Amino acid sequence: MSVRYVYAEVPSRVEYGLSEMGTSLLTVLRELRKWGLKTAARQLPVKCFHCKQCEPFND
């Protein structure tokens, strides 16, 4: 589900990304996020903790 890219550099550099299969899960994960935010909003005021700028239901 993830892809590892290793670059022949000094100092060494490695990057990670999503494979085609991992990318295909993004729609499901976004819907799960919406559900989680909606469920949590019933209990506590919620903001996205990733960027702390977006409202809970903006994508």
Q: Which residues contact 17 (CB under 8 A, 6 or more apart)?
A: 2, 3, 5
The predicted pLDDT at position 51 comes to 63
Tell me the pLDDT band of 47, cut-offs 50, 70 and 90: low
Q: What is the mean pLDDT of residues 3-32?
A: 92
Residue 17: pLDDT over 80: yes
Name which of 59, 2, 54 is nearest 33 in CA terms.
59
Per the model's pLDDT, the better-predicted residue between 39 and 49 turns out to be 39
pTM given for the model: 0.49
Residue 12: pLDDT over 90: yes
